């Protein structure tokens, strides 16, 4: 008898790494807090679309192109994206990966990031800058959920705790969310997308 795993859903997580890690993280946190305080357009967009929190998604969604600190983060993330892509079942010969979008999320207690996916992207992910104790986990949906017509009960979701300094990567079609949680402080993360292009 043989059992094979076909079409598995892979998830990548790792410490960010790179030289001067602790100092870089402090600089990145300062940059995130300064951006959240100064981005009036982002706060206005968030008031309508990200209740109780702040995201630069509606105002500055390519931070790696406008900030040297976020550009430094993108360079550190590139090696993780390449490593993850190398484990996925795609032919990337003659193709390169490039970050296309990068935005900031600040979530105080009770803020929700509803179930969604990232259309037109290949690999998506999050880097956790600051995670208070008890802050919301990343909740991932089983991609077979809509096709489990007569399946017995099982796990429809898997929750992955958020940890400061960690990178999470997944294929962009995987639906995910951040449910509300009670904690003190702010959960600060940076989300991003990668696409492939021909060389």
Residues 138-162, mean pLDDT to the nearest whole number: 91
Q: Which residue has the tokens 């796990």?
A: 155
Res. 66 pLDDT band, cuts 50 70 90: very high
Total number of domains in the chain: 1
What are the distances in angstroms from CA 16 to CA 5, 22, 44, 76, 105?
29, 10, 31, 7, 18
1 in a structural domain? no
Q: Which long-range contacts (CB under 8 A, 24 or more apart) does 145-153 make?
A: none
119 in a structural domain? yes
Look up the domain containing 164 and give its range: 12-144+156-198
- Nearest alpha-carbon partner for 127 in 104, 97, 152, 154: 104
User: Which domain CATH number covers 96?
Assistant: 2.60.120.620
63 in a structural domain? yes
Residues 167-172, mean pLDDT to the nearest whole number: 98
193 in a structural domain? yes
3 in a structural domain? no
Beta-sheet strands, E only, within 73-143: 95-108, 113-116, 123-130, 138-141
184 Rama class: left (phi>0) / alpha (psi -120 to 50) / beta? beta
**92-136 pLDDT, tens digit each:** 999 999 999 999 999 999 999 999 999 999 999 999 999 999 999
Q: Which residue has the tokens 């598995």?
A: 8
pTM of the entire predicted model: 0.95
Strand order in the sheet with 166-171: 11-15, 166-171, 123-130, 186-198, 95-108, 54-55
> Are 54 and 36 spatial neighbours (Cβ–Cβ below 8 Å)?
yes
């Amino acid at each position: 008898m043989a059992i094979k795993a076909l079409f598995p859903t892979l998830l990548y997580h790792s410490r960010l790494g790179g030289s001067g890690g602790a100092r870089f993280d402090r600089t990145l946190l300062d940059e995130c807090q300064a951006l959240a305080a100064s981005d009036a357009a982002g706060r206005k967009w968030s008031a309508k679309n990200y209740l109780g929190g702040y995201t630069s998604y509606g105002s500055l969604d390519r931070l790696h192109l406008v900030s040297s600190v976020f550009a430094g983060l993108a360079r550190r993330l590139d090696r993780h994206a390449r490593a993850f892509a190398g484990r996925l079942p795609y032919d990337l010969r003659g193709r390169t990966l490039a970050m296309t979008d990068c935005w900031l999320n600040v979530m105080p207690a009770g803020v929700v990031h509803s179930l969604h996916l990232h259309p037109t992207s290949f690999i998506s992910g999050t880097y956790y800058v600051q995670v208070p104790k008890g802050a919301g986990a990343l909740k991932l949906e089983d991609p077979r959920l809509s096709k489990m017509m007569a399946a017995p009960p099982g796990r429809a979701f898997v929750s992955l705790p958020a940890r400061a300094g960690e990178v999470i990567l997944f294929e962009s079609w995987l639906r995910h969310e951040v449910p509300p949680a009670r904690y003190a402080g702010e959960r600060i993360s940076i989300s991003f997308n990668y696409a492939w292009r021909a060389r």
